A and B are shown apart, each in its own frame.
Chain A
């Protein structure tokens, strides 16, 4: 197994190691639950020991909404903590967790390997994740005091909904209603999409990807393309999980810094690392 795939599986296990749930039927209560993992991993998953940054972000706006209405709530603390945590990772390595750590990214990479005709997405879909961030993860939670991105998130359906229904916790859950099946339908639609297109969730939907991607422009870890060596042959795009031409914009917010392009470039024109001055030279 190659290094990146091994890292992804290791991260999946490191984020979700709490197999004691199967015997105790109690979710993890340790202090690590206060740490936001830089990947989309639902904190409703009974195996996880970390918190989801997007769930926590929405929670901060729910609390801020309550504060505006006059209730005591510590929304600012949560907001600063989440933005600071995500920002620290982003400022260091940009969107690299998307390419190496995120379990949902791993799932998309694996499903895309199924040999069926593929569907290339237009570049405009990449703007969708900013809309999901602004509307579903910020504005609507503030307005309605409800975490609507979490309600629709397919990762929650997969890791939380299915697992907790299959292996119920000690405290009984509410009965399954129509919304649960709606969520399963959303999950099924996304899983199908993952088979046909490269990382569509990462490109078009993920609010965490939107936040980390912005950091690509100024992170300490940078990408660079030597224009003298690059022949724009397109070999990089063929292997790119998010279907971009890295030579056009090495610090693109769409780039998940998986380094597949660097590995595949026949001219060895792509350089990446800390201290690399980026972008095109």
Chain B
């Protein structure tokens, strides 16, 4: 039987850690920085560098 990496508790722990990462990101204005970058047309993405 293949070794399973983790059970339900591990999954819940990881979910909590990722949620914590999102929460902490607000301290460094992560969402705002993502927004500020996303509202400008990305010239790299469209090939007009």
Interface residues, chain A, CB within 8 Å of chain B? 27-29, 31, 33-36, 42-44, 50-52, 55-56, 59, 63, 74, 76-85, 87-88, 90-92, 146-147, 150-151, 153, 156-157, 160-161, 164-165, 169, 173-177, 179-184, 215, 217-220, 249, 251, 275, 277-280
- Cα of A30 to Cα of B43 in the assembled complex, Å: 20
- List the B side residues contacting A52 at CB < 8 Å: 38, 45
| Least Cβ–Cβ distance between B48 and chain A, in angstroms | 5
- List the B side residues contacting A92 at CB < 8 Å: 15
Given A85-B22, A88-B22: A183 in contact with B47 (beta carbons within 8 A): yes
Interface of B, helix, strand, loop or mixed by DSSP: helix
A78 touches B19 (CB 8 A): no
Interface residues, chain B, CB within 8 Å of chain A? 1-2, 4-8, 10-12, 14-15, 17-35, 37-39, 41-49
- List the B side residues contacting A42 at CB < 8 Å: 42, 45
- List the B side residues contacting A83 at CB < 8 Å: 18, 21
- List the B side residues contacting A218 at CB < 8 Å: 5-6, 10-11, 14
A84-B20, A88-B22, A165-B46 known, 10 other contacts, Cβ within 8 Å:
A76-B25, A77-B28, A77-B33, A81-B22, A81-B30, A84-B18, A84-B22, A91-B15, A160-B41, A179-B47
Given A55-B45, A279-B2: A81 in contact with B15 (beta carbons within 8 A): no
B35 touches A34 (CB 8 A): yes
Given A29-B39, A156-B47: A81 in contact with B34 (beta carbons within 8 A): yes
A219 touches B48 (CB 8 A): no
B43's closest neighbor in chain A, by CB?
A: A174
- List the A side residues contacting B44 at CB < 8 Å: 146-147, 150-151, 156
